[in-house]
Amino acid sequence: AQDKLTVLLDWFVNPDHAPLVVAKEMGFFKDAGLDVELVAPADPNDPPKLVAAGKAELAVSYQPQLQVQVGEGLPLVRVGTLVSTPLNSLVVLADGPVKSVKDLKGRKVGFSVGGFEDALLGAMLEKAGLSLKDVTLVNVNFSLSPSILSGQVDAVIGAFRNFELNQMAIEKHPGRAFYPEEEGVPAYDELILVANKAQTNDPRLPKFLAAVERAVLYILNHPEEAHAAFTKGRPELNDELNRRAWADTLPRFSHSPAALDAARYARFATFLKARGLIKEALPVDAYAVTLK
Amino acid sequence: MRLMRALVTLAVLLTAWHALVWATGLPRFILPGPLAVADALQRNAGLLAQHAATTLSEILVGLALGVLLGTASAILLASVRGARRWLMPLLVVSQAIPVFALAPLLVLWLGYGMASKIAMATLVIYFPVTTALFDGLRRTEPGWLDLARTMGASGASTLWHIRLPAALPALASGIRVAAAVAPIGAVIGEWVGSSSGLGYLMLHANARMQVDLLFAALFVLGAFAVALYAATDALLRRALPWLPDSHAFDEKD
Amino acid sequence: MRLMRALVTLAVLLTAWHALVWATGLPRFILPGPLAVADALQRNAGLLAQHAATTLSEILVGLALGVLLGTASAILLASVRGARRWLMPLLVVSQAIPVFALAPLLVLWLGYGMASKIAMATLVIYFPVTTALFDGLRRTEPGWLDLARTMGASGASTLWHIRLPAALPALASGIRVAAAVAPIGAVIGEWVGSSSGLGYLMLHANARMQVDLLFAALFVLGAFAVALYAATDALLRRALPWLPDSHAFDEKD
Amino acid sequence: MHARVLPAGVPAPVSVTIASARLTYGGAPLFEDLSLRLEPAAVTCLLGPSGVGKTTLLRLIAGLTDLEPPTTVTAGDGLPLAGRVAYMAQQDLLLPWLSVLDNVLLGAKLRGERRSPALVDEAHGLLERVGLPGRAGDRPAALSGGQRQRVALARTLVERRPVVLMDEPFSALDAITRLRLQELAAELLAGRTVLLVTHDPLEALRIGHFVHVMSGGPAVVGAALEPPGVPPRAPDDAAVLAMQGELLRRLAG
Amino acid sequence: MHARVLPAGVPAPVSVTIASARLTYGGAPLFEDLSLRLEPAAVTCLLGPSGVGKTTLLRLIAGLTDLEPPTTVTAGDGLPLAGRVAYMAQQDLLLPWLSVLDNVLLGAKLRGERRSPALVDEAHGLLERVGLPGRAGDRPAALSGGQRQRVALARTLVERRPVVLMDEPFSALDAITRLRLQELAAELLAGRTVLLVTHDPLEALRIGHFVHVMSGGPAVVGAALEPPGVPPRAPDDAAVLAMQGELLRRLAG
Ligand SMILES: Nc1ncnc2c1ncn2[C@@H]1O[C@H](COP(=O)(O)OP(=O)(O)OP(=O)(O)O)[C@@H](O)[C@H]1O
Ligand SMILES: Nc1ncnc2c1ncn2[C@@H]1O[C@H](COP(=O)(O)OP(=O)(O)OP(=O)(O)O)[C@@H](O)[C@H]1O
Ligand SMILES: [Mg+2]
Ligand SMILES: [Mg+2]
């Protein structure tokens, strides 16, 4: 018998989810005795809530959000890592007037409300000797690339380096990315897997992570076959943009999804506290664990 | 004849669209031209058809439920004095709540399946139907009510045999609005979370900047809306033959 | 008296809400209880007031514009035969287009300021007003039209002096719906792009899991909707004193 | 109800007394301390200048207006009048969505009574006797003014009520049809307590047992004229013609 | 228009000829090869059983129904009739949102004519003469049936049209008021071509220059009775009473 397991993605299926999709398509979950259902929400903020409410076993989320959510009292813990580098970046037009973060002074920066873009941008600006007061922040919701391509804003924060950059290149307006981890923001895991705090000893979770690990390695070893499995039945994911994003995302998958770098989490918690997003930096083991 | 007119209308609209794109030089990722969309429509016909089927069934079920619930609520509002005081403010508030606030609740109670989408579509359709019918029920010719009273009709009977038929034109008006907004209701429902449907496809295409696919899906959705509106209009006018009507939607030449 | 009833209504609703949260054991981050929301409301009063001001002005301007445009369109539809054929399908399609597809276009043309939000609110309000009035204009008592004809009235004059006043109750019905959906129109506009307003605040609170703040903002929005609806209802009934009306929204005891 | 327990649908005759009737519109009394007695099983005719308050008085007896103190309306048997009055209003009040037959049988439908074949036969018979054979299936919109009035008459006659109030029931009929229907009414209303408002003095004298004139402001009802003989009297009955002068004199006030 | 160029609002008299008139409802002819001539500057009265087609014929002359071939309606001066006909329908058709005065002056308003003090004075004068002094500011809903009919009469009389069609204009009035208004109409309509439908033989003989009976199915209009003397004749005019027998015979047909 297969154990049912519901996993909420952070958003619609995209190459960021390759290990999960490939593990499902290649039967790795089934081999581990799991019947996994992947569900895509439209609002990335919903999955953690639903996991906290017991509606699903696992959710794909982001490390900064997790730390904020735990600060707000949600009973969540990180149990695995999908993408172990930041993906978020500050993007401007490559041939535009902004050559460095300093040049943002007096300009408009678009963002899609994720909850901590202002913190990220604030840190980057301060390193460049500016502050949030020197720019105008505009919520552009889901239209990051169009808003910058059409000149409505001069930069966008919250753009994914594996995505928006490719998008802009395809539109023949290549972008330039400023990477937060190079501009004063501590490095963090972009995509993580979170579970309900009460469920950390659920025996299905280690099996799940093992299957994900197997998929990551399979993708690295057999990129062609993995891509075929990824796009099977999802022809809309087999276009130019998604192929490029696929290639750019591959090297960023955590090779060891279950492993936890506690010091990294502690460092980032200090950063979030300094930016006023959380009231106190909880001990890491309160919200991030390595499953036995 | 009517078909031809529809085709001419379509042709003129497409030309205008083409001209707009051409004249303003809008980039493809903001507003693709009709040719690009036609191309996307054709290339993704299978994909679109499959997602459209999901959305269409959500629309139809949502429309049916919304009209039923709306009718029931309006009747309740009109007949039970208490209901008016308590339900009406609630109804009005329900219209002002953005979907993302309700989404986790809906998912928690209804799951990620069809049910939560239908619930959203129903919610969108519900209000115009309720207020339109309620307004109609408020405005019965007083002479008829007097007549019913002297004939010894109960409140329920008066409602059913007099006020309700007299309010049918108002209900029809509400249903027409509902038919036009039903597609957006289903799409909003798909934002709650889904893995198929035109709304899903559009969000997806939007996020991936497949703008021509997005507009192709929009085109299908628009076609649904017009077809639904025209069908509802024709049906309602057939169902209410005693109504004066100077301009039908599908009037003859 | 009426104020007291409103307060009682509110109290009962809050109790029901509290009971729901308590009985279902819904966690705070899915549906906070009224006490938590009241607390958030009070703690963030300044913040809420400031964002509410933005949204309120968007709502009011959008409502005014939507009603004006809708009235104008309905009159155009009813009076110009050609307009009916061309504009009606366009109108219907406009209702089926999800905002995010239009957002880039709107923002491109109107910028990220107030204009694009007002445009969205207007778009949401426009259709119920247009169809309701158009439906009303279609249904003028034929005897009055005959009378106008024998009196040598031009089409425009008949429209202005007979058909339009006769359709005012239908327009009122449309405006009532519009008043209830206006707040969501403004909020949708704020999602498209903004740096203030209740919609913006809600997105923010949602992302930061400040669910109680989110619901506090929702509460303000709901209060706007109810107040707007009640005000519109009262105003309209005062403006149409000759109408039979068995149940007013603010009926006396 | 009485009408139910008596055989063959003949209700027990009952008198009706209106005493100290008072009614004000906007402060000014339309009538004050007005009294009128309807003799059991008799036809009482009421005449009076247009606007004097005849319709208002009828509505008051029918229980359609709130009684202003010290007004009393009592039945001879001491039981409440409600449910024992049939009222034919000045307007025909046909429901446009029902066929002629269904309009005639509206009372039974409103009271949820079974539509027995006997009842349907009776309705068909009445329609034939009012001169509308073969029109049972038509919609009211296809009828002339006089035909509509005759349907309303049939609808009133089919009700088996001990008290019948009729407001100008023959006003839209030609002289010949009118004579025929006066006879029909006199025949079918025999044994019931009838108050009939009319503007035709001859009509009143032909079919009335008692003929009152209402006049003045505040209005009062004068003493009865009692034409000799049994109604319906012949149109050229000498007594009728003799009394006409007196009646006209009273009317001229 | 003729009415405009003549001084003091007296239109040039014109005859109207209806020839070979044919009208079918659902296949069956209501009338066929019907003809009728309205003599210039004379009052032609038309009587006939209810439902024979009198209203239909009036509407046909007023240009409110499409003419079925071979029907012709021609004016004596060869010019088109359109714009020269005033039509008082069987229903009062008062606009509920206008005051009594505004209803009376509706024609001028509909034609966009300036509301001169003279016109307003005339309207007030007419309202006084139809027995409604001091009611100019009331809404129609506050009027009795007969009062409404009198407002409709005033509205028709204030129009300066050479041809006036009236459908049972006095049917809701008491005998005294009726006599007064017959005289008023005869006086104010002097010099105009009038077709008046009535059910009252005495009324026809009192104010008609020509009295026709319409009868049969398909209906025809019989030859004219021409009561001697100048209308308005006295109610007890011997010639009138003498002719009444003949007229009743024709009506009983
Ligand atoms: N829309 C219609 N469809 C079918 N028949 C109709 C329609 N309108 C009128 N008729 C029929 O035409 C006939 C003539 O109607 P009309 O109103 O002209 O009568 P009338 O002579 O004015 O009667 P009355 O004295 O009762 O007003 C009636 O028998 C009526 O039933
Ligand atoms: N809602 C109202 N507000 C003010 N006055 C009213 C209202 N309804 C009726 N009236 C007045 O009351 C008076 C009596 O009206 P009613 O209808 O009883 O007259 P009636 O005797 O039936 O006249 P008719 O013979 O013309 O039908 C009229 O003068 C009318 O103007
Ligand atoms: Mg009356
Ligand atoms: Mg008629």
pLDDT tens for residues E180-218?
A: 999 999 888 888 899 999 999 888 998 999 999 998 878
pLDDT value for A26: 92
Residue E156 or B92, more confident: E156
**How many interface pairs between C and E have CB atoms less than 8 angstroms apart?**
59
Amino acid at A291: L
Per-residue pLDDT for B203 more than 50? yes
Nearest atom in ligand 1 to the alpha carbon of residue E53 is: 18
Query: Which residue's structure tokens are 């035109």?
Result: B198
d(CA E103, CA D20): 37
Task: Mark yes or no for CB contact C193/A113 under 8 Å.
Answer: no
Task: Identify whether B244 is part of a domain.
Answer: no
Show residues of chain A in contact with B47, CB under 8 Å: 235-236
Does the beta carbon of D51 lie inside 6 Å of ligand 2? Answer: yes
Contacts of B100-103 spanning 24+ positions with Cβ under 8 A: B100/A43, B100/A45, B100/A46, B100/B191, B100/C202, B100/C203, B100/C206, B101/C202, B101/C206, B101/C214, B101/C215, B101/C218, B103/A41, B103/A42, B103/A43, B103/A46, B103/B191, B103/B192, B103/B193
pLDDT value for B194: 67
> B24-38, D223-237, E201-215: which has the highest mean pLDDT?
E201-215
Does the beta carbon of D56 lie inside 6 Å of ligand 2? Answer: yes
Write down the pTM of the prediction: 0.85
- How sure is the predictor about B79, in pLDDT bands with cuts at 50, 70 and 90? confident
Residue whose CA is closest, atom 22 of ligand 2? D55
* A52 Cβ under 8 Å from any chain C Cβ: yes
d(CA A131, CA A104): 10
Show residues of chain A in contact with C192, CB under 8 Å: 140-141, 143
Calculate mean pLDDT across residues D235-250.
Answer: 84
Q: How far is D25 from chain E (nearest CA, A)?
A: 9
**Burial class, A121, CB count within 10 angstroms (exposed 0-12 / middle 13-18 / buried 19+):** buried
Distance D88 CA to ligand 2 centre (A): 17
Calculate mean pLDDT across residues D97-107.
Answer: 92
Per-residue pLDDT for A136 more than 50? yes
- To test the contact with chain A by mutation, choose from B26, B109, B112, B196 the residue with the greatest count of A C-beta atoms within 10 A, namely B112
d(CA E14, CA E11): 9
Report whether B87 contacts B76 (CB < 8 A).
yes
* B181 Cβ under 8 Å from any chain C Cβ: yes
| DSSP β-bridge partners for residue D213 | D47
pLDDT value for A209: 93
To which CATH superfamily is domain E1-84+161-253 assigned? P-loop containing nucleotide triphosphate hydrolases (3.40.50.300)
Beta-carbon contacts of C197 under 8 Å, excluding residues fewer than 6 positions away, are: C51, C54, C55, C58, C117, C186, C187, C190
Show residues of chain B in contact with A42, CB under 8 Å: 103, 190-194, 203
d(CA B42, CA B216): 9
- How sure is the predictor about A195, in pLDDT bands with cuts at 50, 70 and 90? very high
Average pLDDT, chain D: 87
Cα dihedral across residues C84, C89, C90, C95: positive or negative: positive
Helices (H), A18-143: 18-25, 28-31, 46-52, 63-71, 117-127
pLDDT value for E148: 93
> Can you give the CATH number for the domain in which C130 is found?
1.10.3720.10
Tell me how many domains chain C contains.
1
| DSSP β-bridge partners for residue D31 | D23, D219
If one residue of E94, E143, E177 were mutated to test the ligand 2 pocket, choosing by the most ligand atoms within 8 A of its CB, it would be E143
Question: For the segment A103-114, what is each residue's pLDDT rounded down to a tens digit?
Answer: 998 898 888 777
Report whether D232 contacts D207 (CB < 8 A).
yes
Nearest CA in chain C to B21: C105
d(CA E165, CA E171): 15
Report whether A194 contacts A59 (CB < 8 A).
yes
Amino acid at A34: L
Question: For the segment D19-68, what is each residue's pLDDT rounded down to a tens digit?
Answer: 888 898 888 888 888 889 999 888 999 999 998 999 999 999 998 888 88
Task: Mark yes or no for CB contact E106/C147 under 8 Å.
Answer: yes
Task: Identify whether C212 is part of a domain.
Answer: yes
pLDDT value for E160: 84
Helix B114-138 and helix B45-79, axial crossing angle in degrees, nearest 10: 40
Residues in chain B: 253
* C155 Cβ under 8 Å from any chain B Cβ: no
Residue whose CA is closest, atom 26 of ligand 1? D146
If one residue of E22, E34, E55, E212 were mutated to test the ligand 1 pocket, choosing by the most ligand atoms within 8 A of its CB, it would be E55
Q: ipTM of this complex > 0.85?
A: no
Task: Identify whether B21 is part of a domain.
Answer: no
Distance E147 CA to ligand 3 centre (A): 9
pLDDT value for D10: 56
Q: What is the 3-state secondary structure (H, E, C) of A208-254?
A: HHHHHHHHHHHHHHCHHHHHHHHHCCCHHHCCHHHHHHHHHHHHHEC
Q: Which of C143, C86, C163, C165 is nearest to B249 (CA)?
A: C86
Task: Mark yes or no for CB contact E199/D173 under 8 Å.
Answer: yes
Per-residue pLDDT for A215 more than 90? yes
pLDDT value for E10: 56
Beta-carbon contacts of E250 under 8 Å, excluding residues fewer than 6 positions away, are: E213, E215, E222, E225
- Ranges of each domain in chain E: 1-84+161-253, 95-160
Cis peptide before E218 (omega within 30 of 0): yes
Query: Which residue's structure tokens are 């010719």?
Result: B141
Calculate mean pLDDT across residues D129-136.
Answer: 90
* A243 Cβ under 8 Å from any chain B Cβ: no
Per-residue pLDDT for B100 more than 80? no
Q: Which of E78, E49, E63, E37 is nearest to E193 (CA)?
A: E37
Task: Mark yes or no for CB contact D97/B165 under 8 Å.
Answer: yes
* Average pLDDT per consecutive 10 residues, chain C (253 residues; last block may be shorter): 67 83 80 86 89 90 92 87 72 72 71 80 85 86 90 88 89 85 81 78 81 87 86 83 56 37
Report whether A67 contacts A115 (CB < 8 A).
no
Residue whose CA is closest, atom 16 of ligand 1? E53
Helices (H), chain B: 2-24, 34-43, 45-79, 81-96, 99-110, 114-138, 142-150, 155-158, 164-191, 198-207, 211-239
**What does the angle CA B75 – CA B76 – CA B81 come to, to the nearest 5 degrees?**
120
pLDDT value for E114: 87
Counting residues of chain A whose pLDDT is more than 70, the rounded percentage is: 98
Task: Identify whether C95 is part of a domain.
Answer: yes
Residue E34 belongs to what H/E stretch? Answer: strand E28-38
- How sure is the predictor about A77, in pLDDT bands with cuts at 50, 70 and 90? very high
Residue whose CA is closest, atom 1 of ligand 2? E142
Report whether B66 contacts B121 (CB < 8 A).
yes
Show residues of chain C in contact with E85, CB under 8 Å: 150
- Show the beta-strand stretches assigned E in chain A: 3-8, 34-39, 58-62, 76-83, 88-93, 108-111, 136-139, 155-160, 175-178, 191-196
* C146 Cβ under 8 Å from any chain B Cβ: no
Does the beta carbon of E30 lie inside 6 Å of ligand 1? Answer: yes
pLDDT value for D2: 37
**E193-197/E163-167 β-pairing:** parallel
CB atoms within 10 A of CB D105: 21
d(CA D224, CA D244): 13
Nearest residue, CB atoms, B108 vs list A14, A50, A149: A50
| DSSP β-bridge partners for residue A193 | A60, A80
d(CA C39, CA A198): 28
Task: Mark yes or no for CB contact B151/D111 under 8 Å.
Answer: yes
Give the ligand with the smallest distance to the CA of D46.
Answer: 2
Q: Residue C202 sits in which domain range?
A: 32-239
pLDDT value for A81: 94
Does the beta carbon of E25 lie inside 6 Å of ligand 1? Answer: yes
Average pLDDT, chain A: 88
Calculate mean pLDDT across residues D186-192.
Answer: 88
Q: How far is D214 from chain B (nearest CA, A)?
A: 24
Helix C45-79 and helix C164-192, axial crossing angle in degrees, nearest 10: 140
Residue D141 or B206, more confident: D141
Give the ligand with the smallest distance to the CA of D147.
Answer: 1
**What does the angle CA C239 – CA C245 – CA C247 come to, to the nearest 5 degrees?**
115
Q: What is the 3-state secondary structure (H, E, C) of D228-246?
A: CCCCCCCCCCHHHHHHHHH
Nearest residue, CB atoms, C150 vs list E62, E109, E112: E62
How is residue B151 written in tokens?
A: 């004939």
Question: Distances in Å between the alpha carbon of D203 and those of A138, D52, D228, E36, E42?
Answer: 83, 19, 14, 32, 31
Give the ligand with the smallest distance to the CA of D48.
Answer: 2
Q: What does the DSSP 8-state code read for residue C109?
A: H
d(CA D163, CA D73): 13
Report whether E189 contacts E111 (CB < 8 A).
no
Q: Which of A121, A111, A47, A287 is nearest to A189 (CA)?
A: A287
Segments in chain E below pLDDT 70: 1-11
pLDDT value for E4: 34
Compute φ and ψ for A159, nearest 5 degrees: -75, 140
Average pLDDT, chain B: 80
pLDDT value for C170: 86
Calculate mean pLDDT across residues A82-94.
Answer: 91
Task: Identify whether B15 is part of a domain.
Answer: no
Calculate mean pLDDT across residues B142-154.
Answer: 90
Amino acid at A114: G
